[in-house]
């Protein structure tokens, strides 16, 4: 009997979700769409504005009408659609602080309609991780919070809202990236919780997402010995098949986190991790921001084909994965039409939500007077950002505060550059110290301590996780988006 393999390249291409460089699709992407490629993923490098993205996706659909166009748009600190200016919506942590699931659903639906208008059909969001470890370097404000029940109800609300807007949601990073001190972009995190703890904490939001009808789940490159002592979740049949499919009852598309991330690529290789993930039960392979050319896509496609021919990857498993991707594609075509036909929410729903998330804490006997009524001096302390957030996205409150208090000055310091007296330029003006995750950075805490010793009347504004509250007046936004910065500036000046 002769076995033909000519159909395998198209099957292999169907399960890839590659990125590319440029604000228009390169020729190789258009060619691949005609040869079986089922999906692409957009990053900040592909985005100028909504109109340009709409033109880009229209070009893709001219090649394949049901192509899945994915993006990593959390509508918080992690934004691709608004990376130039910062997100006009607050992120998960701010929505969790408000704890109004109806508001969360409205924000997500508003985002869904915007994405659908731009031609995006799959969003790698919401982040369903429970940020139970405040020292976590990669999740933080991307999570709805540290309480599993809160995270679960807002994950479900976000899924409902986004999908009502016409875009497939993708809950991540299964089975939960919240209790780590390691960023999986750089190394393999290890989750040491036992199964009872996992059920009570990490898995609760994913159960809620499945119950809400989430169309996709993204795997985390995480070693969870209580579930599989040997393989990270992305490569584990026990976790993807036994837990996610059989126990949680998920029937949608399982998408990997970017397969070139060092947590898996350093151990199993770029192509090796891809083949292992498909064999374990993944349906779609995300090729993230670091490998964005035809050579990378061809390397993975050829490795998948070779694995099928050698017997390492059963053809039935590859066909099943491609079928699920096709089913998601069909869902997105119908959902996008329905979402665009629906009414969009209030144009300022993001700013409304950001305003509701601001919390002000005043120390006993404080002499700091709010609102500020004259030009201030703003000192912003900038920590290293993780890869997920991206270096291109602006943040801070100096800009919006300067609009409300003309003459306001702003300086920004990173770790090596902080002077002995960080607030020295303030003179007699109000001093505002802006921090992100103050509790995680020794150098930042030392600098703020020095500034407060000289100017105890300074206001501290925390744009990250407010684990450490300090200063006579402390303002927490629960995120560093453009909307959060504006909301903070309004509170400081009494504009609202």
Task: For residue 240, give the nearest of 140, 137, 317 by alpha carbon.
Answer: 317
Nearest Cα residue to 329 out of 165, 119, 121: 121
Helix axes 294-310, 27-34, angle to 10 degrees: 30
Catalytic residues: 257
Q: Cα–Cα distances in Å, from 104 out to 2, 59, 143, 176, 412? A: 56, 32, 13, 21, 32
Listed in sequence order, the residues at least 6 apart from 223 whose beta carbon sits closer than 8 Å to its beta carbon are: 188, 189, 190, 191, 231, 232, 233
The model's pTM is: 0.95
Torsion of CA 76, 118, 218, 206, to 10 degrees: 70
∠ CA 175-272-139, rounded to 5°: 30
Q: Which residues neighbour 6 within 8 Å (Cβ) at sequence distance 6 or greater?
A: none
pLDDT at 104: 98
pLDDT at 84: 92
Residue 2 has what pLDDT? Answer: 37
The DSSP code sequence of 309-349 is HHTSS-HHHHHHHHHHHHHHHHHHHHHHHHHHHSPP--TTH
For residue 98, give the H/E element and its range. helix 92-98
Residue pLDDT tens, the chain, 496 long = 334 678 999 999 999 999 999 999 999 999 999 999 999 999 999 999 999 999 999 999 999 999 999 999 999 999 999 999 999 999 999 999 999 999 999 999 999 999 999 999 999 999 999 999 999 888 999 999 999 999 999 999 999 999 999 999 999 999 999 988 777 677 788 999 999 999 999 999 999 999 999 999 999 999 999 999 999 999 999 999 999 999 999 999 999 999 998 889 999 999 999 999 999 999 999 997 788 999 999 999 999 999 999 999 999 999 999 999 999 999 999 998 887 776 565 669 999 999 999 999 997 776 667 999 999 999 999 998 877 887 789 999 999 999 999 999 999 999 989 999 999 999 999 999 999 999 999 999 999 999 999 999 999 999 999 999 999 999 999 999 999 999 999 999 998 7
């Amino acid at each position: 009997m002769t076995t033909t393999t000519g159909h395998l390249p198209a099957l292999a291409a169907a399960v890839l979700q590659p990125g590319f460089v440029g604000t228009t699709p390169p020729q190789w992407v258009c060619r691949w769409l005609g040869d079986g490629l089922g999906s692409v993923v957009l990053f900040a490098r592909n985005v100028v504005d909504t109109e340009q993205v709409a033109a880009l996706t229209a070009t893709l659909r001219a090649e394949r009408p049901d192509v899945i166009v994915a993006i990593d748009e959390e509508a918080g600190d992690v934004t691709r659609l608004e990376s130039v200016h910062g997100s006009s919506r607050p992120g998960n942590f701010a929505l969790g602080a408000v704890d109004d699931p109806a508001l969360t659903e409205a924000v997500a639906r508003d985002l869904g309609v915007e994405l659908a208008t731009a031609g995006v059909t799959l969003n790698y969001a919401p982040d369903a991780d429970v940020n139970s470890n405040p020292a976590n370097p990669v999740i933080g404000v991307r999570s709805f919070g540290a309480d599993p029940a809160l995270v679960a109800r807002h994950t479900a609300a976000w899924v409902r809202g986004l999908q009502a807007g016409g875009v497939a949601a993708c809950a991540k990073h299964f089975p939960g990236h919240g209790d780590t001190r390691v960023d999986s972009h750089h190394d393999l995190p290890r989750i040491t919780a036992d199964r009872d703890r996992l059920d009570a904490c990490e898995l609760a939001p994913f159960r809620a997402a499945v119950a809400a009808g989430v169309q996709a789940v993204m795997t985390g490159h995480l070693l969870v010995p209580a579930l599989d002592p040997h393989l990270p979740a992305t490569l584990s049949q026990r976790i993807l098949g036994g837990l996610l499919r059989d126990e949680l009852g998920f029937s949608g598309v399982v998408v990997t986190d970017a397969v070139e991330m060092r947590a898996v690529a350093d151990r199993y290789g770029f192509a090796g991790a891809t083949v292992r993930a498909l064999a374990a039960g993944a349906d779609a392979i995300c090729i993230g921001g670091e490998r964005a050319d035809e050579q990378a896509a061809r390397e993975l496609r050829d490795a998948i084909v070779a694995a099928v021919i050698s017997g390492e990857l059963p053809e039935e498993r590859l066909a099943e994965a491609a079928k699920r991707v096709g089913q998601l594609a069909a869902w997105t075509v119908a959902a996008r039409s329905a979402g665009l036909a629906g009414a969009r929410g209030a144009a300022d729903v993001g700013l409304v939500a950001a305003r509701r998330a601001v919390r002000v804490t005043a120390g006993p006997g404080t002499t700091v007077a709010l609102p500020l009524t004259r030009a201030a001096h703003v000192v912003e302390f900038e920590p290293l950002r993780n890869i997920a957030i991206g270096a291109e996205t602006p943040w801070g409150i100096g800009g919006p505060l300067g609009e409300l208090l003309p003459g306001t000055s702003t300086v920004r310091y990173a770790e090596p550059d902080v002077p002995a007296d960080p607030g020295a330029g303030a003179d007699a003006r109000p001093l505002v110290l802006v921090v992100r995750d103050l509790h995680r950075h020794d150098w930042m805490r030392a600098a703020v301590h020095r500034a407060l010793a000289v100017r105890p009347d300074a206001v501290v504004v925390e744009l990250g996780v407010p684990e450490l509250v300090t200063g006579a007046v402390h303002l927490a936004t629960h995120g560093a988006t453009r909307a959060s910065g504006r909301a903070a500036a309004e509170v400081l000046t009494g504009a609202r």
